[in-house]
């Protein structure tokens, strides 16, 4: 009997493939450090004209940290403190969930200065991603 695993590269990987990797990693992590207490996080900004979601935050809390994966304030709502309110709400939710901090990333052409004004600090940088400038990784401690 052959005990060598087969390695493949699916042409169109989907949710089943992602879950196979996710579940294996989650099992290993939980065996190593205990439960992650994963919870998704979504805070939506609704367009007052349509009532439809037009932006906001998508992320998660896990291992006592909040990760903001996606965050956008539609251009027509910028400069009205909408982003500040949404980010503060994420911080409040993170505190309620027992998180010690939040982290996120942003590109050089996006919102680094906005995050720094909110008390976030750069803890890492990936140069030339995408081509032309760096990607920044920022965090804010809550404790």
Q: Give the pLDDT confidence score for residue 84 in this predicted structure.
A: 98
Residue stretches of the chain with pLDDT short of 70: none
Note the pTM of the prediction, 2 decimals.
0.91
CA–CA dist 53, 116 (Å, integer): 26
DSSP letter for each residue of 72-121: E--GGGTTTTHHHHHHHHHHHHHHHTT-SEEEEEEETTSSHHHHHHTT-E
Q: What is the pLDDT of residues 3-29, one digit of tens each?
A: 999 999 999 999 999 999 999 999 999
Domains of the chain: 36-141 (3.40.630.30)
C-beta of residue 47 within 8 angstroms of C-beta of residue 72: no
Tell me the pLDDT of the chain averaged across its residues. 97
């Amino acid at each position: 009997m052959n005990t060598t695993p087969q390695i493949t590269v699916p042409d169109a990987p989907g949710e089943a493939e992602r879950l196979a990797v996710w579940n294996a990693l989650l099992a290993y992590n939980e065996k190593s450090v205990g439960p992650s207490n994963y919870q998704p996080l979504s805070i939506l900004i609704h367009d007052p004209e349509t009532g439809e979601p037009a932006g906001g935050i998508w992320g998660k809390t896990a291992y006592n940290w909040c990760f903001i994966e996606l965050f956008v304030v539609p251009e027509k709502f910028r400069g009205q403190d909408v982003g500040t309110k949404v980010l503060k709400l994420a911080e409040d939710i993170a505190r309620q969930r027992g998180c010690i901090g939040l982290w996120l990333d942003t590109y050089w052409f996006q919102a680094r200065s906005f995050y720094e004004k909110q008390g976030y600090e750069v803890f890492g940088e990936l140069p030339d991603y995408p081509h032309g400038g760096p990607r920044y990784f920022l965090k804010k401690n809550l404790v």
